[in-house]
A and B are shown apart, each in its own frame.
Chain A
Amino acid sequence: MIRVVLPAHLRALAHINGEVHLDIADLVTQRSVLDALEARYPMLRGTIRAHDGGPRRAFIRFFACEQDLSHSPPDDPLPAAVAAGAEPYLIVGAMAGG
């Protein structure tokens, strides 16, 4: 089970309370996590990354295990603690705006 934490404005958009829990049969990567997330919540398509698996939106960041994974290749394996469900995969709205 993969734990995903979304920023508040996207939780509101998708009517999500708390963490999202995803089961991913394949290799746990940023791409496979986002694919599964968007499959369950289609309204999130285009709000985290471009449509059709495109690049991350500029003011969205990806963190896990105290690492910034925003610039990591999307098909790299996520840390083992994320794959095991011990640590969440954090989708974060950058500190910007007003």
Chain B
Amino acid sequence: MSAVRVLVGTRKGAFILTSDGRRKQWEVSGPHFAGWEIYHVKGSPADPDRLYASQSSGWSGQVIQRSDDGGSTWAPVGNKFAYQGTPGTHQWYDGTPHPWEFARVWHLEPSLDDPDTVYAGVEDAGLFRSADGGQSWQELPKLRGHESGPSWQPGAGGMCLHTILLDPVQHGRMFAAISAAGAFRSDDAGQTWRPINQGLQSEGIPDPDAEVGHCVHRLAMHPSRPDVLFMQKHWDVMRSDNGGESWREISGNLPTDFGFPIDVHAHEPDTIYVVPITSDAEHFPPEGKLRVYRSRTGGDDWEPLTAGLPQQNCYVNVLRDAMAVDSLDSCGVYFGTTGGQVYASANSGDSWEPIVRDLPAVLSVEVQTLS
């Protein structure tokens, strides 16, 4: 009998929700690491019992937790994230040089085939890798060391490396995205990097089509077709059909193309999901109606999904890492809100129900499909 495990990171701890494949009854465990911010929890594709969690606080900094039993027990592993060499500077909000300073881990991406290998995207933007189950971390310095690095500026949430995508087909290819530098690609397992932002237009920067400086909020791909990438940018929903070499806008008939998460259906590579947010100044759904928008055509044509979602007086946000899908036959879609609800759909988004309510603000949602 298949089962689903939903890993939820919140402002005040982690929660794990489990259900059988029917996804009707949910058991909630937590809070794990109560009181700490849990930016991200993710399981290894190679060993679903191996989980990694990013735990942090303003008082005591960064901790990485690891579970080897699917989240029943946890143990801290290494938390030393030292930039390689002399860190140098990037641009501060006022345009002055600012030393690179580690703040926290935003995103953990376990290797596709080795449970002990995991990547960490951090603020200030850098990419780290552990090959020993999180005990020690080494920077892949050529990303931060790209010649454009000194010109990168933080977004309002900090200069975070928030997206790491590992190409399951082309070995060694990986993608990363940074607010507000843009998207980057490596074809040699992270040894070298180049910006892949051609076609992006950002009105909030001096040169709207500059090579870097774009506030990319999230990237997504379908594992069967990794050359096709989808992007939710600060404004604009974008698509690339050539591994990021060029992008075109697919916002189409969305009510607003501002938002944070974007994800792809588990079995339909051209079915994608976004949650439109009113604007960069108003981080809540238009008209107080929480609507997921689905495109079954890979963009441009979008339909609102509202069944089971609040359609009045709803002013939550859905953050960039807070949407995920399961891979059951009828694809499940999940997202968490800053109001502490986690909504799930067991039918590709046609209808929704909250599977837990009143958690602390949700920072991240990941899903494991268990056999």
Binding site for B on A (CB under 8 A): 7-10, 12-13, 43, 45-48, 51, 57, 59-60, 93-94, 96-97
Contact = CB atoms under 8 A, between A and B. Distances in A.
Contacts of A93: 59-60
Given A13-B76, A43-B76, A45-B79, A59 B59 contact: yes
A60 B57 CA distance: 11
B36 A47 contact: no
A95 B248 CA distance: 49
Contacts of A94: 59
Nearest to B82: A51
Interface in B25-47: 33-36
Listed from nearest, the 9 A-B pairs whose CB atoms lie closest are A47-B60, A43-B76, A59-B59, A93-B59, A51-B80, A46-B79, A97-B58, A9-B35, A59-B58
Contacts of A48: 60
Nearest to A46: B79
Nearest to A14: B76
B63 interface: yes
Given A12-B33, A13-B63, 15 more contacts: A7-B59, A8-B35, A9-B36, A10-B60, A12-B34, A12-B35, A43-B63, A45-B79, A47-B60, A51-B80, A60-B59, A93-B60, A96-B59, A97-B58, A97-B59
B52 to A, nearest CB: 15
B222 to A, nearest CB: 38
Contacts of A59: 58-59
A47 B63 contact: yes
Interface string B54-95: 000111111100000000000110011010000000000000
A80 B34 CA distance: 36
9 contacts: A9-B36, A12-B34, A13-B60, A46-B79, A47-B61, A47-B63, A47-B79, A57-B59, A97-B58
Contacts of A43: 63, 75-76
Contacts of B58: 59, 96-97
A60 B97 CA distance: 28
Nearest to B80: A51
B80 A9 contact: no
**Most chain B CB neighbours (cut-off 10 Å) among A10, A46, A60, A93:** A46
A60 B60 contact: yes
Contacts of B60: 9-10, 13, 47-48, 57, 60, 93
A57 B79 CA distance: 14
A7 B61 CA distance: 14
Nearest to B35: A9
Nearest to B60: A47
B99 to A, nearest CB: 14
Contacts of B61: 46-47, 57
Contacts of B80: 45-46, 51
